[in-house]
Chains A and B, each alone.
Chain A
Amino acid sequence: MQFWNKTIETMPRKEIEQLQLRLLKELVTRIYEKSHYYHTLMKEVGVHPSDIISLEDIVKLPTMNKTDLRDNYPDRLIIADPEDIIRYHVSSGTTGKPTVVGYTKNDIENWSESLARSFTSFGLGKRDVIQVSNGYGLFSGGLGMHYGAEKLGAAVVPASTGGTKRQIELIKDLKVTSIACTPSYLLHMAEVAESMGVDFRNDTRLGSAILGAEPWSENTRRHIEDWMGIKAQNCYGASELSGPLFTECNEQDGVHVWGDLCLVEVIDPKTGEHVGEGERGELVFTMLRREALPIIRYRIGDISEITWERCACGRTHPRLQRVAGRVDDMIIIRGINVFPSQVEHVLGEIEEVTQHYMILVDSDGALDKMTVQVELDPEAFTDNILTLRAIRSKVAGALKDTLNVRVDVELMEPGSLPRFEEKAKRVLDRRVRM
C-alpha cells in the first residue's frame, strides 16, 4: 500500500484530535482578530477564543451556510490581505447571488496535498496520465483536480468538458490511465466510445475514474465498473470547501477526510445537536487551515455519516459514507427521515421497474401516507394481473425494508411520469398542515 504522507495518514486518532484542537484554537483566534464579521458574530453569541478548550467546545461557535457567503458577496468574509490572494473561484448563482471563494498560496497547496494523498490511496502515482474532464474556469472542479494531479507528479491532460469524441481519442492516444469527471459524463463517454468502436477494456489503458460533483449511487458504480472494466472512485468536495478534496482509497469503503485539514461534525438537522458516531445526520465542515476564506461550522446541506474506524488500508482519518441526500430533499414520514435517493437506490435494484418515479406524500387522517409511483419496464409487462401485482408487492416490500416506512406503490405506464431536464422535483408533498 502506497502513501503520500504516511506519518499523517496513519496518525492515531488521539494525535489527529490534538492537532485539530491546536489548529481550531489558532483559527478561532485568527478570525476573532482579523474578521469584522466573525468578531461581531462571536460577540453576539458571547464566545471568546479562550472558550475553546476542548474539541467539543466547537459547538459554542455559530454555524454558517451558503446564505452567509451570498450575503457577504463578493469578499466581505475574506480575511487574507489582498496581496496574499492568488486565485478566486466563483460558483454559479442558480438560486441567487454567486459565491466567491478566495485562495492564498497555502490554501491551494493544502487543497493539492489533500488530493495527492487521495489519488495515491487508490494507486495513482507519477507514472500515471490523468485526464481532467471537469470544467476548467470559475468552477473549481477542473483546476482543483489539475493541481492535485500535478502535485502527485502525474501527467495531466487538461481536457475540460465537451468534445467527447476528441476526449476518447486522447484517452487512447496519450495512454490515459485515470479520468476525473462527473459520473453522468463518463457514462455518456462510454456510449460514444461504443458507437466509435472503441472498447475501453482493450483499446485504452484506463484503469480508474475519479467521479463526483453530482449525486450517484452504488448501482451506477457497479454499472460503470462492469461496463468499462475500471475502478470508479467516489470523490467528495464542494466549492465552499475548496473544490474536489477527498476520495475513497482502494477499499472503496468511504471517503477519507483528512483530519489535519478538515474537521467534520454530524448533527441532527432539526436540533443542531451532534449525533452519535456512525449515525446519519447533516455534515458540518470546518476547514482548519484555510487562510483566505474561513469556513467554520459550515452546514453544507449533505446528509451522511462518518466513522473513525481504522480503514483496511491502514489510514486512520475519519471516513465519510456516500451522501444519502440533501437536507433540502429530506421528507419526514411518520417521524422517520426519508430521502428520495434511498427510493432511487431500491428501484435501481429491481429490474421490472425503471428509474422514473415520483414520491407523493398525503395526509391520511393524522398520519402521513407515502406513495411511490414508478414506471413499469415494458419488458416486464405481462397480461397476467397476478404477476403484475407480484411486481408491485416486491417493490413495496423492498421499500419498506429500506425505509422502515409503509409505502403504497403504483405501477405506471412507461412515459407517463414527468421527465426532468435539470433539477428533478420528484417529491410532491400534499400534506395538510394544521
Chain B
Amino acid sequence: MPKRHVIKQLSIFVNNEPGRLAKIARIMKEEGIDIYAFNIAEASGFGVFRAIVRDPDIAFQKLKDRDLVVKETEVIAIPMEDRPGGLFEAAAVLGEVGINIEYGYAYSGKEGAIFFIRVNDTESAINTLLNHGIRLLKEGDL
C-alpha cells in the first residue's frame, strides 16, 4: 500500500567542474527526458544531481545507456498548502517517530507547491504521514 506513494528520483554523480551540468542537461534534452524538479548537492570536488522526471524507469535506462553513473532513489512528495505551518506539520510528525529527513527540495507543481523529501526509512515515513492525515502525492499526480 505505501509503495504507491513512493516517488522515484534519479541521482546522478557529477564532477564539480565547469560544463558538467550542461553536459547532463544536454543528454536529458537529447533523450527527451521531461524534468519536473531538480536539485544539486555539492561536496567539494564532486556533486550529486537529483531529478524528478516523467517516466523515471525509462529515463533511468536511457541515462545508463549514455554512460552516466545514475541510481534510482526513493523520495516522498508532500503537497504544500499555501498557509503557515504546512511544512511544520509533516516535519514534526516525522521527528516524533524518529525518522530523519536527509534532504528535501521544493517544486511549484501544477496545483501548488510540492516538497520532495528523502528520509532514512521511506516506508515508515509514508505510513506515519498517512496515519496523521497528511496527504502524499503519487507518481501520476506530478
- CB pair A385–B41 under 8 Å, yes or no, is yes
B60-74 interface (Cβ within 8 A of A)? 67-69, 71, 73
Instruction: Please tell me the size bucket of the interface on B.
Output: 10 to 19
Of A20-28, A255-263, A411-419, which stretch is located at the interface?
Answer: A411-419
Nearest-CB distance from B74 to chain A (Å)?
Answer: 9
- CB pair A410–B46 under 8 Å, yes or no, is yes
- CB of B45 within 8 Å of the partner chain: yes
Q: Which residue of chain A lies nearest to B11 when distances are taken between CB atoms in the complex? A: A383
Interface residues of B, dominant DSSP: strand
- CB pair A376–B50 under 8 Å, yes or no, is no
State in angstroms the CA–CA spacing of A378 and B102 once bound together.
Answer: 22
- CB pair A382–B46 under 8 Å, yes or no, is no
The interface bits of chain A over 397-429 (1 if a CB of B lies within 8 angstroms of the residue's CB, else 0) are 000000000001111111110000000000000
- In the complex with contacts A383-B71, A384-B102, A412-B11 CB distance below 8 A: no
- CB pair A413–B13 under 8 Å, yes or no, is yes
Chain B residues, CB < 8 A from A378: 69
- CB pair B73–A413 under 8 Å, yes or no, is no
Q: Which residue of chain A lies nearest to B41 when distances are taken between CB atoms in the complex? A: A385
State in angstroms the CA–CA spacing of A381 and B9 once bound together.
Answer: 15
Chain A residues, CB < 8 A from B41: 385
State in angstroms the CA–CA spacing of A416 and B46 once bound together.
Answer: 12
- CB of A13 within 8 Å of the partner chain: no
- CB of A388 within 8 Å of the partner chain: yes
- CB of A34 within 8 Å of the partner chain: no
Number of A-B contacts (CB under 8 A): 49
- CB of B93 within 8 Å of the partner chain: no
The interface bits of chain A over 192-203 (1 if a CB of B lies within 8 angstroms of the residue's CB, else 0) are 000000000000
Nearest-CB distance from A414 to chain B (Å)?
Answer: 6
State in angstroms the CA–CA spacing of A416 and B15 once bound together.
Answer: 8
Instruction: Please tell me the size bucket of the interface on A.
Output: 10 to 19
Binding site for A on B (CB under 8 A): 9, 11, 13-15, 20, 41, 43, 45-46, 48, 50, 67-69, 71, 73, 102, 118
State in angstroms the CA–CA spacing of A416 and B47 once bound together.
Answer: 14
| Between-chain CB contacts (< 8 Å), 22 pairs | A376-B13, A376-B69, A381-B13, A381-B69, A381-B71, A383-B9, A383-B11, A383-B50, A383-B71, A384-B102, A388-B48, A389-B43, A392-B43, A392-B45, A408-B45, A409-B45, A410-B46, A411-B13, A411-B45, A412-B46, A413-B14, A413-B15
Given contacts A381-B69, A412-B15, A413-B15, 8 further A-B contacts (CB under 8 A): A376-B69, A378-B69, A383-B48, A383-B73, A388-B43, A392-B43, A408-B45, A413-B69
Chain A residues, CB < 8 A from B20: 413
Binding site for B on A (CB under 8 A): 376, 378, 381-385, 388-389, 392, 408-416
State in angstroms the CA–CA spacing of A149 and B74 once bound together.
Answer: 62
State in angstroms the CA–CA spacing of A411 and B13 once bound together.
Answer: 10
- CB pair B46–A388 under 8 Å, yes or no, is yes
Q: Which residue of chain B lies nearest to A415 when distances are taken between CB atoms in the complex? A: B67
- CB pair A414–B50 under 8 Å, yes or no, is no
Nearest-CB distance from B16 to chain A (Å)?
Answer: 8
State in angstroms the CA–CA spacing of A388 and B12 once bound together.
Answer: 13
Chain B residues, CB < 8 A from A410: 15, 45-46
